[in-house]
Amino acid sequence: MAFEDETQDVIHERMLDTISDEVDKRQGSVVWDLTAPAAIELAQVYTQLDNVLMFGFASEDTPSDYLEKRTSEIGVTRKDSVKASGALTFTGDNGLLIPAGTRVSTDELEPVYFVTVTDVTIAGGQVTVMAEAELGGANGNVRAGSISIVLGVVSGVANVTNSQAFSGGADAESDESLLARYYEKVRKPATSGNAYHYEQWAKAVPGVGNAKVYPLWSGPGTVKVVLLDDSKKAPTQTIIDAAKTSIEEIRPIGAIVTVAGATETPINVTATLTLAAGKTSADAKTEFTALLSDYLKTLAFVDPIVRYSKIASLLLDVPSVVDYANLTVNNGTANVTIADGAVAVAGTVTFS
């Protein structure tokens, strides 16, 4: 039931109808003036009742704060963001102390900030130390060589860099994901360590986007849990270890649990393109790769078939592409079947 029809005028008219016609009820009369303010207040109450219906039930339209209140009633809470981590290499004067908490950043218009986690001293001209992002989030997963600025006063440092990409960063859980986990817990009863239980335990770990459970995968008492990250790709070892630790703390006694990341299967695409005026193959590649990645995310742990016809249609959805020929997907012109426990990811895209 909704209350959008309960307007001030409707309510006021109903109030006046309950009063004897022997009394003057015309606008400006005492009765009219005394009942009009009450009608205004009651109309506002009905508006709030509409909000109660919207906020009191978990749905796609429920505001974030109210969704969290609803899901927390059954123990489903939003997963926090996770800080990315990695190794930094400082070059500078021998004997120079690089204290824990030294801040560095990427050299970008909107830099990402990191801090070292331990004290180290430069020897032999350089030293490597672990660091983590100041804030949680996937934007901390910066590429190799992107960190180059030392912040604050650290005299004697010539430069800093990260020879490898930082990893492990994950954004706070989205409303969509939180609602999906809430629905799963309600609709898929998890009891006594059944498959649904392991799936829910895994998905509750920050950075885990999906999980697939294989009961008795290696004999009685064994369980295998295969994970995807929030981007529907193979998760980092940090996420896998966190899921393993979490599940081990709450699993039934006697179960032998194996936790692993999904195996990535690259989807490589080649084609000869007819381009729109003013567009380049590089433009088409960027646009197509984004569409391909989005499509493959919808298949992860849901549909094992990457359809050749769908990839062909994606090509025609690319703004820079007018037409195409000689399309191959993984060197063929047929559907690609993804193995159980694997996930399709965008591979090499070659356009000519």
Per the structure, the complete domain to which residue 12 belongs is given by: 8-56
Q: Is the confidence at residue 2, as pLDDT, over 80?
A: no
Residue 273: the pLDDT is 94
Query: Cα 112 from chain centroid?
Result: 19
Whether residues 48 and 94 fall in one domain: no
Residue 181 lies in a domain: yes
pTM over 0.85: no
**Same domain? 276 vs 344:** yes
Express as a percent the part of the chain with pLDDT over 90: 83
In the block, residue with structure tokens 């360590």: 193
Q: Does residue 315 belong to any structural domain of this protein?
A: yes
Q: How many independent structural domains does the chain possess?
A: 4
Domain stops at, among 132, 161, 190: 161
Mean pLDDT of 330-343: 96
Q: Does one domain contain both 213 and 155?
A: no
In a domain? residue 166: no
Please tell me whether residues 246 and 270 are part of one structural domain. Answer: no
Q: Is 69 inside any structural domain?
A: no
The reply to whether 169 falls in a domain is no
Which amino acid would we find at residue 219?
G
For residue 91, the tally of other CB atoms under 10 A from its CB is 13
- The pLDDT score that the predictor gives to residue 140 is 96
Asked if 277 and 253 sit in the same domain, the reply is no
Domain CATH code at residue 234: 3.30.70
Same domain, 42 and 118: no
Q: Which of 137, 161, 185 is at the close of a domain?
A: 161
* DSSP single-letter state for residue 236: P
| In a shared domain, residues 198 and 221 | yes
Are 99 and 114 in the same domain?
A: yes
Q: What is the rounded average pLDDT for all residues in the chain?
A: 93
Q: Say yes or no to pLDDT of 1 above 60.
A: no
Q: Are 345 and 264 in contact (CB under 8 A)?
A: yes
Six token digits for residue 127: 């030293």
As beta bridge partners, residue 351 has 271
pLDDT of 260 over the 70 cut: yes
Instruction: Render pLDDT for 26-68 as a digit per residue (tens, 0 to 9).
Output: 999 999 999 999 999 999 998 888 788 778 888 898 899 999 9
Asked whether residue 66 is assigned to any structural domain, the reply reads no
| 307 and 236 co-located in one domain | no
Tokens 């010539």 locate to 158
In a domain, 65, yes or no: no
HEC per residue, 281-339: HHHHHHHHHHHHHHHHHHHCCCCCEECHHHHHHHHHHCCCEEEEEEEEECCECCCEECC
Tokens of 291: 């569409």
71 pLDDT tier (thresholds 50, 70, 90)? very high
Are 28 and 49 in a shared domain? Answer: yes
Residue 115 and residue 194 in one domain: no
The Cα 110–Cα 107 span in angstroms is 8
Same domain? 267 vs 346: yes
Look at residues 167, 178, 179 and name the one whose alpha carbon lies nearest to residue 143.
Answer: 167
Output the pLDDT for position 50: 79
Which of the four pLDDT bands, split at 50, 70 and 90, describes residue 264? very high
Q: Which residues pair with 267 in a beta bridge?
A: 346
Question: Given 161, 196, 227, which residue is the final one in a domain?
Answer: 161
Domain membership of residue 68 (yes or no) is no
